[in-house]
Structure 1
Amino acid sequence: MPSHPSADRSADQPPGRGGSVDALITQTRRLRGQMDAVRRETETQSDTADPRGRWERALCELASHQLRDLDVHLAQLRNGPPPLPTAPAGPAAATAERSAAPRGALLGAVGSAEWNLLTDEAGWSDEFYEILGRDPATPALTLDELPSVVLEEDRPLLTAMVTGCLVDARPIDGELRIVRPDGAVRTVHLMGEPVLDADGSTASMWAVLRDVSALRHSESAVRESREALRHHRHGAGAEQRLDRALRDGVPPAWRGCRPLARRGRPAFECAAHHLPAAPGSGIGGDWYDALELPDGDTLLAVGGLTGHRPALAADMAMLLGAVRGMAMAGAAPDRLLAWLNQLLDTTGRPALGSAVCCRYRPATRTLLWARAAHPAPLLFRDATGRALDAPDGVPLGAGPDAAYGQAEATLAVGDLLLLHTDALLPGHGGAPAADRLLGLAPRFATARTARDCVRTVVEECGTGECAQEGCVLVARVVS
């Protein structure tokens, strides 16, 4: 490195003390107290497994440590630079002095040094020795020897900074990695200025060295936590989009009115609606179907499925396909539910379901139905409503040998049948939920279509209070 270059301008000298520093120290310590309170609250409330919680804790920890570092810097500014020793004071005295020196948790140490370019002498503070991991009893390294403690990849940067400082009077300001005698690699921040004599020649150079290893580690923890949070959110969004795509691919595609005919004559007018879940509550497995069967009967079904996404949507599609296939093969509702139960039991994925399946025979206006732990259909006639008497039925997937009862009801032209899922009325389980829907009977009596009836249900039950998704199916006998 160059030893005696000259510069074209005088370098700024280290800043002096000022009375305003004490006020800054007071403000910093007050802010530290507030920040520590926020950090303790974050540690108490945040979930250790939540990426957002880890990110918040890392940011609070970093901010708290940086305020401690600022406190130390301000105290050093108030007290002035430490005197540079002319001779080593011995290992024991240096160790005691280093232990007494204040420093922030992320600071490690802040040391100062000066190199006399005219005599090739160097003076380091005890903290400078500590950062480099060297014994204060040994002579300080000259500028030519200093690169020996710097990681080989960073030596060109050190050379460029020192040369620019001594030749062009540019301030030194950069980060390097040093290798301590024990092999540990530390990241340090080096700042320095040239000091010119009366003739404009560079007489010496002073520098301040700060150990920023812990600071960079904390900043890296913040970045990693933020990236983990970003991936977590992206993954959750992708999973939700996949769920919705699978859900949208599950039949039936119709949402409005749908006439179900028997030999050209309408037997049922059907309408259905799917109420989306509240934001952040995930996607459930509620489903519905209405289908004219080959023998002229009509299938009406509503159900719900629990499980883990995205397998939930796939299981729902499988279950609905099975319902259609078995109904078209002529299975009665009780036998259909028993086979569905066995099907869920053989999937190998833990899942429970509820369902109500109805088979309507237009020739006799007879409704055969069975349920699996599901609300009974509601029958509305002459501006009044009632729940059909429910047969026994355990949840789907509860056991391979479950049996299901079957009930029968006779319908009349103009009757309205309403099937719904439990989640349609959150917080109103059991009889109160049915009573709330039955209270809509006068409005159903004046509705012109099944779709109008569904719209009434949505206005009553789908105004943002649903914690889960739900669905409703309305079928009106027209012949």
Structure 2
Amino acid sequence: MPSHLSADRPAAQPPGSGSVDALISQARRLKGDVDAVRRDAPSDGTDPQDRWQRALCDLALHQLSDLDAHLAQLRDGPPPAPGAESAAGAAPPAPRRGSLLSRVGSAEWNFLTDEVSWSGELYRILGRDPAAPPLTLDELPSLVLDEDRPRLTAMVTDCLVDAQRIDGEFRVVRPDGEIRAVHMMGEPVLAADGSTASMWAVLRDVSALRRTERAVSETRDSLQRHRQRAQNEHRLAVELQEAVLPPWRGSLRLPHQGPETLDLAAHYLPSSTGTLIGGDWYDALELADGQTLLSVGDLTGHGVSVASGMATLLGAVRGMAMAGTEPGRLMSLLNQLLDATVQPALGSAVCCRYRPETRTLVWAQAGHPAPLLFRGGTGRRLHSPDGVLLGATSGAVYAQAEETLEPGDLLLLHTDGLVPGRDSTAAVNRLLGLAPRFGGARTAQDCLRTVMEEFGEAEREDDACVLIAKVTS
């Protein structure tokens, strides 16, 4: 079969040295930019995405360095034959181990004269003594791993019989036992009668490149597993949160039996990214004695473990409130619960007990923003009783405060993630500024809608909760 290379085709003229030098300069400039990006990347190795980015930079550096070396060879012309080095006197020093220039060698097998010639670089790639004779095509497979020999044999056969180009990869075992990955490209050279006169090939040591590619693949797989795990944890945290927070949406009026005394509305606001599920909660619960429990809180952190901890705290709040525990004592018991957990955690909370017969609000707090009271078009923050963060210290004692409410009063409880930077003072001032609009609202849901108009589109770093209770009678 005739080759696509004609024996009488004129040889291609090499490009001018000036254009090649320009390409070399561009390649080296780009390599410097990539190397700068690589140095600036985090290097502690703990984050899968960082490892993947660094591996990609390494791969790009390998390829750009190979391009630089190949362009230099194109500019300088073919390397001298091994005999020419000794004939010229002192041979140039061998490139250092791993040098890019030492990874490209060439060979030619002449079938008319049975001569074989290897470049010095090929001897170094295969780890053979430069004084030893080069191997024939029949001997070359002896260096190749057993499982790769059929591939090499098929490539050489297709080249010699069907005049096909060689373009493939195989692994060789050097005399020191090291395995190298070698990429081989070659073509047959046809005689005037169409027969194969010789075969030439360029062999490239791609071991470092393959190692980097494996590193990229492994870190990509690790990153995908990390992302999948994060997605699963996020979905689980959302499901847990939805299962624990009160099932009612929109307005709620309590008590269910008898004259309604409180009109309630609440809303959970996720973080701006939507990926951080924290430990914020709100709750409104009618108690057995006709009183109402109102609470909001925040457990520090994000993820499934925090959502689970929040569920535990909220369950404890409900259980102790149903048992008649007063807010101050309830906070002390919550603090003991967090102090006894295996994984240390901190939390803040406000717990209120509303007695409709006297319109008295008894409440306690643990390092949390105080409730806001709106009356007659103005608003103020209730004076906070003493109380440290839950889990901050063992044996903490929490004081209680009382406030007498009036019909039409509006009580607003919130967590501290409403505004960027968790600036509770800024959030409180903006909430107090809504007092005139609250004065004209008919229901708690109307007031909540006003809060959402003010804070709903804000870029929040954390999630937040708002609970509004309007005294109806």
- TM-score interval (norm. to shorter): over 0.9
Q: Distance in 1 between matches of 2:472 and 2:416?
A: 27
2:415 counterpart of 1:418: no
Q: Distance in 2 between matches of 1:61 and 1:29?
A: 20
Determine if the alignment matches structure 1 residue 468 to structure 2 residue 470: no
Q: Which amino acid aligns with 1:449?
A: T
For 2:214 and 2:99, the matched residues in 1 are separated by 16
The Cα shift of 1:54 comes to 2.1
Q: Deviations over 1:283-303 (max 9, x none)?
A: 211111111111111111111
Q: Which range is displaced more, 198-207 or 293-302?
A: 198-207
Determine the C-alpha separation between the residues in 1 that align with 2:69 and 2:106.
14
1:53 to 46, 50, 55: 50
1:99-128 Cα distance to aligned partner (Å, 9 max, x none): 49xx99556421111112233221111112
Distance in 1, matches of 2:394 and 2:246, equals: 28
1:441 CA drift (Å): 0.9
* Cα distance in 2 for residues equivalent to 1:478 and 1:44: 61
Structure 2 residue corresponding to 1:294, chosen from 288, 293, 304: 288
Once the 2 structures are TM-superposed, how far is the Cα of residue 431 of structure 1 from its aligned partner?
A: 4.4
Aligned residues: 470
Residue from 64, 68, 79 that aligns with 2:65: 68
The one-letter code sitting in structure 1 at the alignment partner of 2:68 is D
Matched, 1:406 2:400: yes
- TM-score (norm: length of structure 1): 0.91
Q: Deviations over 1:318-344 (max 9, x none)?
A: 111111111111111111111111111
RMSD over equivalenced CA pairs, Å: 2.5
Structure 2 residue aligned with 1:373:
367
Structure 2 portions without partners, runs of 5+: none
Sort the Cα spacing of 1:363 and 1:70 in 2 relative to 1 into closer, same or farther, 3 A.
Answer: same
- Separation of aligned partners in 2, 1:301 and 1:214: 61
Q: Determine the C-alpha separation between the residues in 2 that align with 1:138 and 1:115.
A: 16
Identify which of 73, 77, 80 aligns with 2:74: 77
Contact kept in structure 1, 2:38 and 2:58, CA below 8 Å: no
* Secondary structure at 1:65 match in 2: helix
Cα drift, residue 17 of structure 1: 3.8
Quote how far apart the aligned CAs of 1:374 are: 1.1
Q: Relative to structure 1, is the Cα distance of residues 315 and 165 closer, same or farther in structure 2, using a 3 angstrom cutoff?
A: same
Of 47-56 and 240-249, deviating more is 47-56
Q: Quick one: percent identity of the two aligned structures?
A: 60
Distance 1:93-1:217 versus aligned 2 partners, 3 A rule: farther
Aligned equivalent of 1:321 = 315
Instruction: Choose which of 425, 437, 448 in structure 2 pairs with 1:443.
Output: 437
Question: Aligned to 1:375, what secondary structure does the other structure show?
Answer: coil
Residues 1:281 and 1:21: Cα distance change in structure 2 (over 3 Å): farther
Cα contact 2:112–2:198 (8 A) shared by 1: yes
Q: 1:223 to 1:22 in 2, by over 3 A?
A: farther
Distance 1:134 1:238, change over 3 A: same
2:23 corresponds, among 27, 42, 50, to 27
State the AA in 2 paired with 1:62. Answer: L
1:242-281 to structure 2, matched below 5 A, reads 242-261=236-255, 263-279=257-273
Distance 2:274 2:449 in 1: 25
Instruction: Point out where structure 1 has 5 or more consecutive residues left out of the alignment.
Output: 1-6
Deviation larger for 221-230 or 126-135? 221-230
**Paired position in structure 2 for 1:181:** 175
Mapped to 2, the partners of 1:203 and 1:310 lie a distance apart of 71
**Deviation digits for residues 205-257 of structure 1, max 9, x if unmatched?**
22211111111112222222222222222222222122111111113022311
> Matched residues in 2 for 1:214 and 1:171: separation?
25
